[in-house]
Structure 1
Amino acid sequence: MSRIGAVGGKYAMRRMGYRGSSMVNICDLELIGTQIEQDKYVIYLTKEYFQQEIIEDLVAEKLLLDCSIANLVGHRIVDRAIKLKLAKEASIKRISGVPFLMIYKFQYG
């Protein structure tokens, strides 16, 4: 996996509707343009998929709290979701050491 210097507190974000819900993809900005490989799997972290805009910590936190579905990649954004108690450590998957987390908030009524 190639990495460039860390960009503190900045994330790539794409927001969309999905089946009547609000969905966000958020990735630590420095991971955009990289590929992650483990065993026979390769994941491309592309600008086209993740980066509609660049956001900072407070906006990321608000989006995490307000969305129905979140697809998160990277240490900082996944740590932020855990600190907000939106998921548990056991829910985190790691591919070549990079954390991935998907959050689905069930809504009733």
Structure 2
Amino acid sequence: MSRIGAVGGKYAMRWMGYQGSTMVNICDLELIGTQIEQDKFVINLTKEYFQQEIIEDLVAEKLLLDCSIANLVGHRIVDRAIKLKLAKEASIKRISGVPFLMIYKFQYG
């Protein structure tokens, strides 16, 4: 079930490159500034960690397809990764109902 709408398909994004790999952190924009708690887990979704810039759906999709590593938080961005067949539902971790997904694309060469 897609939850596109709350902030019109906008995401907070931060990327970093290291030794030929690109890692992106992408979070549904409306989650920035919130704290998620479940049992012993406390996760602060801060602007400093996730929001280098604000992006929209098409940019998010391109980043997901092109990156080496993706760290995703939120219903919309995780749904998008699943629809792109970059991961399976079984790979999603939910904390207080919020989906988290990490994708590693292994390349041999």
TM-score, normalised via structure 1 length: 0.93
Q: Which runs of 5+ in 1 are unaligned?
A: none
Count of residues paired in the alignment: 109
Residue pair 2:78, 2:100 contacting (<8 A) in 1 also? yes
Residue pair 1:13, 1:55 contacting (<8 A) in 2 also? yes
The percentage of aligned residue pairs carrying the same residue is 95
Please report how far the alpha carbon of residue 74 of structure 1 lies from its aligned counterpart in structure 2 after TM superposition: 0.1
Please report how far the alpha carbon of residue 6 of structure 1 lies from its aligned counterpart in structure 2 after TM superposition: 2.3
Distance, in Å, in 1 between the alignment partners of 2:87 and 2:4 is 28
Please report how far the alpha carbon of residue 3 of structure 1 lies from its aligned counterpart in structure 2 after TM superposition: 14
User: Please, what is the CA RMSD of the aligned residues?
Assistant: 3.4
Counterparts in 2 of 1:5 and 1:56: CA distance versus 1, 3 Å:
closer
| TM-superposition CA deviations, 1:61-107 (whole Å, max 9, x none) | 00000000000000000000000000000000000000000000000
Counterparts in 2 of 1:32 and 1:18: CA distance versus 1, 3 Å:
same
Counterparts in 2 of 1:45 and 1:2: CA distance versus 1, 3 Å:
farther
TM-score, normalised via structure 2 length: 0.93
Distance, in Å, in 2 between the alignment partners of 1:2 and 1:101 is 16
Distance, in Å, in 2 between the alignment partners of 1:54 and 1:43 is 21
Distance, in Å, in 2 between the alignment partners of 1:74 and 1:81 is 11
Please report how far the alpha carbon of residue 20 of structure 1 lies from its aligned counterpart in structure 2 after TM superposition: 3.0
Distance, in Å, in 1 between the alignment partners of 2:30 and 2:73 is 11
Residue pair 1:3, 1:30 contacting (<8 A) in 2 also? no
Residue pair 2:81, 2:87 contacting (<8 A) in 1 also? yes
> What residue number does 1:40 align with?
40
Q: Which runs of 5+ in 2 are unaligned?
A: none
User: Hey, which bits of structure 1, 4+ residues long, moved more than 4 A?
Assistant: 1-5
3-state SS of the aligned residue for 1:27? strand
| TM-superposition CA deviations, 1:25-60 (whole Å, max 9, x none) | 000000000000001210000000000000000000
